[in-house]
Amino acid sequence: MAKEKLTPADKKFIAKFFGDVDFDAKQITRSNRFSGETTEVDPVFALVYDFIMKVEAAINRRSDEALKSIHPELKMTNAIMNFDRARMIAMKMDCSAYMTLLD
């Protein structure tokens, strides 16, 4: 039996920010914004990756409004914590895709 990569807390984070997701859906392609290198990821990883990109942009703009548009509970005081949590979840889910896209 394979070890489950995501903890119940990780799944709770995913449910909070993305609702119910299909962990067994087909693959999606994402690309590194700097290198252009692409990789196939599962839909949950794609959601987490997109969240990371949006939160990073909002943090860089120091915009509570942009954070609220991503999720009503996001604000500058908790954005970095949630950004880091999402990055760690992405790394747990697919280390290779994480290294290609985010590291």
36-66: pLDDT as tens digits = 999 999 888 999 999 999 999 999 999 999 9
pLDDT digits (tens, 9 = 90+) for 76-88: 999 999 999 999 9
pLDDT band at 23 (very low <50, low <70, confident <90, very high): low
Whether 67 and 75 have beta carbons less than 8 Å apart is answered as yes
Helix (H) or strand (E) segment spanning residue 64: helix 64-70
- pLDDT surpassing 50 at residue 21: yes
Q: What is the pLDDT of residue 1?
A: 36
Output the six-digit token pair for 99: 């290294």
With the C-alpha atoms ordered 76, 87, 84, 60, is the resulting torsion angle positive or negative?
negative
Give residue 5's pLDDT: 84
Share of residues in the chain with pLDDT > 90 (%): 80
Q: Domain coordinates of the chain in residue numbers?
A: 42-103
